[in-house]
Amino acid sequence: MLPVVSEMINHQLIDICVVESYHAVEPVMPLRLLRMRNGMFVAAVNFFMSCVSFSVLYFLPMWFEVVLGQSAAQSGSLLIHFARLQAMNTI
């Protein structure tokens, strides 16, 4: 399963780069920013932090339900603290 997902991510990244560089009138992020070292590291850190954030939002409620025996509503209410921390960190 993991090779399939990694291939999908690679193809999507390539497609985004092609569309952004050749077809977009006003690109969301100019690709020249990725040529600089700081811009590349910022983009990579943002990508990995987004991956971590989405995986936590997906797997943490399952862990609450399966391991701790919480209901779906209780596991959702336990994610409120995580959402608050994310909101505070984005400011």
Q: What is the 3-state secondary structure (H, E, C) of 44-68?
A: HHHHHHHHHHHHHHHHHHHHHHHCC
Residue 53's pLDDT is what? 83
Residue 67's pLDDT is what? 92
| Chain segment 9-20, per-residue pLDDT in tens | 676 777 776 776
| Chain segment 49-64, per-residue pLDDT in tens | 888 888 888 888 888 8
Mean pLDDT (whole number) for 28-37: 75
| Chain segment 65-77, per-residue pLDDT in tens | 999 999 999 988 8
Residue 57's pLDDT is what? 83
